[in-house]
Amino acid sequence: MVSELALEIPQRDCNIAIVASEFNRFVVQQLVAGAYDALQRHGVSESDIHLVWVPGAFELPLVADVMAASGRHDAVIALGAVIRGATPHFDFVAGECSRGLAQLALRHSLPVIFGVLTTDDVDQALERAGSGAGNTGFDTAIAALQMISLLDRLETNEEQQ
């Protein structure tokens, strides 16, 4: 019989790393603010949130890997904004960033949350950073907390069997 584990917020202290892209900072700063808001609303103290800025989205996986490998964090949230331009650069940056972050989650068995906006234009990015359809930074922080809780409960269930 398979039991269903609902998504919940952890009932313990959490240490969260946020790795944010400096490129398109006018958008990413809003994502970071949204993530901080969500984490603090759910009991994570500011001293348990560790923010590191990197030059661009392509650099997110490397620094996220260092943060994940440190063993000090319960989750890593990667925030950035890759906005399509007139060249194929967008495809390379967005694809490699996504691939690198996904590999880290599996390698470290740690929630590595993808909060990198990939949009066609600045207006779409700003909308997803809080001016219209919510704030992706807030949403990714909630996802990080839910994944921490889920993994905690899965580990507890494994130990009980």
Q: In what order do the strands lie in the sheet with 49-54?
A: 49-54, 16-21, 75-83, 112-119
Active site residue: 42, 50, 73, 89, which one? 89
8 A C-beta contact, residue 44 and residue 12: no
What sign for the dihedral angle of Cα 156, 67, 58, 80? positive
Cα-Cα-Cα-Cα torsion 60, 63, 69, 71, nearest 10 degrees, comes to -100
89 is catalytic: yes
Segments of 68-155 assigned E as strands: 75-83, 112-119
Residues belonging to the active site? 89
